[in-house]
Chains A and B, each alone.
Chain A
Amino acid sequence: DTEVTQTPKHLVMGMTNKKSLKCEQHMGHRAMYWYKQKAKKPPELMFVYSYEKLSINESVPSRFSPECPNSSLLNLHLHALQPEDSALYLCASSQDRVLGGNTIYFGEGSWLTVV
């Protein structure tokens, strides 16, 4: 089962709201990722978790707060977002953090619109 599941598929939130994006995988992968993708642009790495610990934060604003409650789950907490944060947020996982030979599997993404 090579599946990464993301919820919700679509989210509309106001600039003062607090919401969360959720991601789940049951492949036993120990590395999980959040990417952000704007329309007609490539995905950009935001965060990497390895063995449930944050290992990479690509200078993401603090209004985005990742959390890894266990090895299967990854959340992205959203607070006080701006309209320019509207994008497709992609979760991914791989067997471990070292991607030398590992495939990274992506979920279908969560479309976020900030109004």
Chain B
Amino acid sequence: SQQGEEDPQALSIQEGENATMNCSYKTSINNLQWYRQNSGRGLVHLILIRSNEREKHSGRLRVTLDTSKKSSSLLITASRAADTASYFCATLPTGTASKLTFGTGTRLQVTL
């Protein structure tokens, strides 16, 4: 079953702009992870944020987590054409040791 909803479903920006994707989920979680998937390819792990963390950075990525609102956001700064992909949030609900559940995904298109 699907745990997360992502917003927007699709996002088109120009190179150099920032891209923000939001994820909302339904139940309490141990952690939340963001993944990237190029068309028809496997998923690449981007960043993991634990339930007791509020913000995390990795290169041009910034992730926030608000457990009171059951939401997370992924910010990609200074986007590049190579960032074009689908981005998924994935949650590990409390009490489910290995049931990582993916959100609906955001398709990001970065144009030159």
Determine if A66 is an interface residue (Cβ-Cβ < 8 Å).
Answer: no
Interfacial chain A residues near B102, Cβ < 8 Å: 42-44
Determine if A76 is an interface residue (Cβ-Cβ < 8 Å).
Answer: no
Interfacial chain B residues near A108, Cβ < 8 Å: 41-42
Digit string of B11-37 for contact with A (CB within 8 Å is 1, else 0)?
Answer: 000000000000000000011010100
Which of B40, B43, B92 gathers the greatest number of chain A CB atoms within 10 Å? B43
* A42 & B98 in contact (Cβ 8 Å cutoff): no
Instruction: Please pick, from A31, A99, A105, A109, the residue contacting B41 in the complex, using a CB distance under 8 A.
Output: A109
Determine if B111 is an interface residue (Cβ-Cβ < 8 Å).
Answer: no
Q: CA A92 – CA B35 in complex, angstroms?
A: 13
Interfacial chain B residues near A6, Cβ < 8 Å: 42
Q: CA A44 – CA B97 in complex, angstroms?
A: 16
Determine if A34 is an interface residue (Cβ-Cβ < 8 Å).
Answer: no
Q: Which of A12-20, A48-56, A67-75, A78-86 contacts B (4 or more CB under 8 A)?
A: A48-56
**CB closest chain-A residue, reference B103:** A42
* A106 & B43 in contact (Cβ 8 Å cutoff): yes
**CB closest chain-A residue, reference B51:** A100
* A101 & B43 in contact (Cβ 8 Å cutoff): no
* B99 & A45 in contact (Cβ 8 Å cutoff): yes
Determine if B70 is an interface residue (Cβ-Cβ < 8 Å).
Answer: no
Determine if A21 is an interface residue (Cβ-Cβ < 8 Å).
Answer: no
**CB closest chain-B residue, reference A88:** B40
* A50 & B98 in contact (Cβ 8 Å cutoff): yes
Digit string of B95-112 for contact with A (CB within 8 Å is 1, else 0)?
Answer: 001111111110000000
Instruction: Please pick, from B33, B98, B103, the residue contacting A97 in the complex, using a CB distance under 8 A.
Output: B98
